[in-house]
Structure 1
Amino acid sequence: MVTTASRPTWSPAPAPRPRRVSWGRRVLRRAVRAVVALVLVGLLFLAVAWQLTPDVGDARDRVDARLAAAAAPPLSGPLPARLSAAVLATEDSHFRSHPGVDPRGVVRAARGALTGVDLGGSTLHQQLAKNVYEGGENGFTDRVSAVVLALKLDRTWSEDAVLRMYLDDAYFGHGFTGATAAAQGYFGVPPEELSWAQATLLAGLLQAPSGYDPVRHPDRAAGRQEHVLDRLVDVGELTRAQADEVDADPWGLVVG
């Protein structure tokens, strides 16, 4: 009896198993989607806020009205070089390069708006907007509004004009509103004649005029002045040796 070899039965190859997306990739994709969504929401929110906030073409008039209420004179002539340098180094070292809001401070400002704790990061534009348009209020909506107004200030006014308004509007303690009143009141000189020691002292007062009062709290004022000098060294305005010399110079206070 002749037998034939059994032929192997054919079966289709198993379908490839679907590749599983790793947990890390899923998290990354979700994070990217969340970031994109936040950006889109932020842009929409900014567009709405832009329409709701006022125009800033009257910023100079508002500052002049605040000076008049305080019986204080505005700055005249060129911006005071030493005071301007000290203020920018301490309060907003990227003033000349950002569009009114410093991206490096946006995250800190957002966290501060949510927590109610000021974590810094406000530019001169934002500080000016808060004082002139928000009455110095520091709530969540006020901070958001200050961001939008800061962008408008940058678009409407030159950098020097914003800096001039900021120095005119700033409160330096002892009833002195504006750089002119502060320079004359504390030292008996116009702003353009301030020494480095005097300019750095005034710049340090902006954060807390009462807390760093050079008459009542000279040690605190000196400590704050050292911080201003350190910032001037950091931005290359002064050398360390020059800063040390300034630190040893007298203030020449005429206010008691």
Structure 2
Amino acid sequence: MSTTLTPPPARPPVPARRSRRHRLARRAGAAGLVGLLLVLLLGAATWLTTPGVGDARERVDALLAAHGAPALGGELPERVVAAVLATEDSRFADHAGVDWRGALRAPWGVVTGRDLGGSTLGQQLAKNLYEDGADDPLARMRSVVLALKLDAHWSKDDLLRMYLDAAYFGHGFWGVTAASEGYFGLAPDQLSWPQASLLAGLLQAPSAYDPLEHPGRAAARQAHVLDRLVDVGALTPAEAEGVAAAPWQLVTG
């Protein structure tokens, strides 16, 4: 007695639309992988071609000497540090020199030639010390790598001190000590919240927000700093409102 084998039922054809989606997904995945590899290769090449950062403190001291400005002495000024971190780099204590959100925007910024923001204190310090303030796409890429090197080599307190010493605060004042004494006649650790928040606001555009030349713009920028201090929990809304209404007590002559 012979047995007749029944062939298995034929599989239904894959819909053309579904097959096309699969092909597009595979191509997108392959393109993404190639893009990631290119970014990694570019990052590795940049790491090898950028300098070491063990001389960062020497560079800061040379910058201060060139402008006849004093270095920050004693403890870090708490109010100034809080205002600067809230405004410029609120995740400073948690990242390794580069904020991942800014890092994700960096490659697109290189492609488009636009500064998309997100620079950490380390990136800004690297730009000032090693890139002579250059802001072209390749300089921004190098600043990312240099910020990683700075964070690996120096403590967070060291980085904060160097950042505050190397920053320009407008009106010819280099470093937080010269700025504090020049604007208010006080040491940085003696500044009130109104004064500390004003100084922190100058970092983005020191000449444009110069409180002696443009008090209205300076006040508007200070308001942004106070909003950020509220956002990070350093001040309550009521405290920020009181700070905004308080005088700066500038030294004008």
Which whole-Å deviations, capped at 9, do the CAs of 1:140-177 have from their partners, x for residues lacking one? 21111111101100100011111110000000001100
More deviation, 165-174/33-42: 33-42
Contact 1:109 1:122 in 2 (8 A): no
Answering whether residue 36 of structure 2 is matched by residue 39 of structure 1, we say yes
Partner of 2:91: 94
C-alpha distance in structure 1 between counterparts of 2:132 and 2:142, whole Å: 12
Contact 2:106 2:141 in 1 (8 A): no
Amino acid at match of 1:167: L
Contact 2:194 2:247 in 1 (8 A): yes
Partner of 2:19: 22
Which whole-Å deviations, capped at 9, do the CAs of 1:166-196 have from their partners, x for residues lacking one? 0000000011000000000000000000100
Amino acid at match of 1:37: V
Q: TM-score, normalised by structure 1?
A: 0.91
Q: CA RMSD in A?
A: 1.8
Answering whether residue 145 of structure 2 is matched by residue 135 of structure 1, we say no
More deviation, 42-51/53-62: 42-51
C-alpha distance in structure 2 between counterparts of 1:187 and 1:24, whole Å: 65
More deviation, 21-30/185-194: 21-30
What are the within-5 Å matches in structure 2 for residues 42-61 of structure 1? 42-61=39-58
What are the within-5 Å matches in structure 2 for residues 233-252 of structure 1? 233-252=230-249
What are the within-5 Å matches in structure 2 for residues 209-228 of structure 1? 209-228=206-225
More deviation, 45-54/180-189: 45-54
C-alpha distance in structure 2 between counterparts of 1:11 and 1:84, whole Å: 81
- Among candidates 153, 157, 177, match of residue 154 of structure 2: 157
Partner of 1:73: 70
Point out the structure with max Rg over C-alpha. 1
Q: Residues 164 and 19 of structure 1: is their aligned pair in 2 closer, same or farther, counting only changes over 3 Å?
A: same
Q: Residues 245 and 13 of structure 1: is their aligned pair in 2 closer, same or farther, counting only changes over 3 Å?
A: closer
Q: Residues 171 and 10 of structure 1: is their aligned pair in 2 closer, same or farther, counting only changes over 3 Å?
A: closer
Q: TM-score, normalised by structure 2?
A: 0.93
Answering whether residue 119 of structure 2 is matched by residue 105 of structure 1, we say no
Q: Which runs of 5+ in 2 are unaligned?
A: none
Partner of 1:125: 122
Q: Percent of pairs identical after alignment?
A: 62
Q: Which runs of 5+ in 1 are unaligned?
A: 1-8
